[in-house]
Amino acid sequence: MSQSSNKLIAIFAAVLALILLLLYMQGSFVSKIPPGLTPQANMITTPNNTAQVEKKQVDDILSWPGTVRSRIVANVAAKMTARIIEITVHASDTVKQGDIIARLDQRELKAQEQAALAALAGVTAQAVHAQADQQRTQSLYSKEAATRENLDAVVARVKEAQAGVSQASSTVSEIQSHLADAVLLAPFDGIIVKRLKEPGDMALPGVPVVSLQTPQGLRLETDVPATCAGRYRTGMEVTVRIDSLGQTVTAQIDEISPDVDTQTHTQLIKIALPTMAGLQPGYFGWLEQACAQHVALLIPVEAVQHIGQLEVVKVLSAGKQLMRHIRTAKTFGDQIEVISGLHAGEAVLRQPQQAD
């Protein structure tokens, strides 16, 4: 026999096998063979191993992405305008209260401090000299060796010198306060979320250099379409999934923004998260919740068999078992939605078995 003949026979056998499989799935063999002789007919059907195709209202579970953030957030900013010399932290770094976050250029302030200290020393010396003159003039006046005008003039010089000392001291204190402001410190224990400036940038009053959060009191913040946000209430329990930890938990809505974003048509929802080992600000999470409902046909999950890429069930029809090709969608507990191949009220077999 030639090689081409072998190929033709192989193709014919494959086509014949496919035709036989389709006829089997349609129940053709069952109808032509007396009951009791086919594998399907040998199976005993009872109320325990049959189930009815049910039509029910089911929830449309949707997922909205969000970011884990802390309830307490601080933007560490400068109180003065100066160039940033050093930033000692990066995003995700842990800091303690009082740790140095950044240093600003202090050269100009140091020069001002030196000048102010020199001025303070000068007026202090003048005040000491004026007080000595006052004491001497007071002694002479008591002996009637100096006039009242001399004494009044000396007293005036003392007061003027003391005022100069007070003003110079205030200037020194102000400059030293600015010097302290040139070192940015962590206001509390926390985690650096964002580093918003780099060395060499200009620090401006009120403009954040870094953003800091506490690791306690974490919340999932997510933007939910306004059409669904109306279903939520403060205090309502919802389902949250944190992929990084592989955990799904029940959490409680803590805050709902009343404002709707005009561009995205969403509302910000903040969900208080329970204590979870390893959870940190910045983690990604999902809010999973029903936004609507639809009518679905449901059958038990165990009624579905998989033959290659096909999904099939055994249907009881007129006392016979027919193999039916179906298409399924989402599962709802121990039931699965059927989107084609079955009708409400039909009976299907659980855990179908074939006789040897």
pLDDT tens track for 65-105? 999 988 888 899 999 899 999 999 998 899 999 999 999 99
Token reading at 347: 């009976």
Report the pLDDT averaged over residues 107-127.
85
- pLDDT, residue 242, reads 93
- pLDDT, residue 30, reads 43
- pLDDT, residue 45, reads 55
* DSSP symbol at 97: T
In the chain, the percentage of residues whose pLDDT exceeds 70 is 84
User: Of residues 211 and 29, which shows the higher confidence score?
Assistant: 211
d(CA 345, CA 315): 11
Element (H, E) at 162: helix 148-181
The burial of 139, by beta-carbon neighbours within 10 Å (0-12 exposed, 13-18 middle, 19 or more buried), is given as exposed
Token reading at 31: 């109808």
| Side-chain-facing half-sphere of 345: CA atoms under 13 Å | 0
- First and final CA of the chain: distance in angstroms? 37
Task: State whether residue 319 is helix, strand or coil.
Answer: coil
Token reading at 243: 């992929």
Q: Answer yes or no: are the C-beta atoms of 296 and 54 closer than 8 Å.
A: no
- pLDDT, residue 5, reads 59
Classify domain 3-59+294-349 at the CATH class level: mainly beta
For the cut 80, the answer to whether the pLDDT of residue 166 exceeds it is yes
In the chain, the percentage of residues whose pLDDT exceeds 90 is 24
Neighbours of 87 (CB within 10 A): 21
Average pLDDT taken over every residue of the chain: 82
Task: State whether residue 234 is helix, strand or coil.
Answer: coil
- pLDDT, residue 285, reads 94
Which residues touch 37 (CB under 8 Å, ≥6 apart)?
Answer: none
Domains 3-59+294-349 and 62-72+214-292 share a fold: no
- pLDDT, residue 165, reads 86
CATH number at 62-72+214-292: 2.40.30.170
Nearest to 301 by CA among 326, 275, 265: 326
Task: State whether residue 108 is helix, strand or coil.
Answer: helix
Q: What is the pLDDT of residues 244-259, one digit of tens each?
A: 898 999 999 999 998 8
CATH 1.20.1560.10 fits 74-210, yes or no: no
Report the pLDDT averaged over residues 212-229.
86
In sign, the C-alpha dihedral spanning 185, 187, 192, 197 is negative
d(CA 120, CA 113): 10
For the cut 70, the answer to whether the pLDDT of residue 54 exceeds it is yes
Q: What is the pLDDT confidence band of residue 351, given thresholds at 50, 70 and 90?
A: low
| DSSP assignment of 28-57 | HHHHHS-TTSSHHHHSPP-TTSEEE-EEEE
Task: State whether residue 186 is helix, strand or coil.
Answer: coil
DSSP bridge partners of 117: none
What is the per-residue burial (b if ≥16 Cβ within 10 Å, else e) of 54-73?
A: eeeebeeeeebebebbbeee
Token reading at 94: 């842990």
For the cut 50, the answer to whether the pLDDT of residue 42 exceeds it is no
Q: What is the pLDDT confidence band of residue 219, given thresholds at 50, 70 and 90?
A: very high
Residue ranges per domain, the chain? 3-59+294-349, 62-72+214-292, 74-210
Q: What is the pLDDT of residues 128-162, one digit of tens each?
A: 888 887 888 787 778 777 788 887 788 888 888 88
- pLDDT, residue 38, reads 36
Backbone angles phi, psi at 188, to 5 degrees: -160, 170
C-alpha dist (Å) from residue 187 to 110, 207, 223:
25, 16, 29
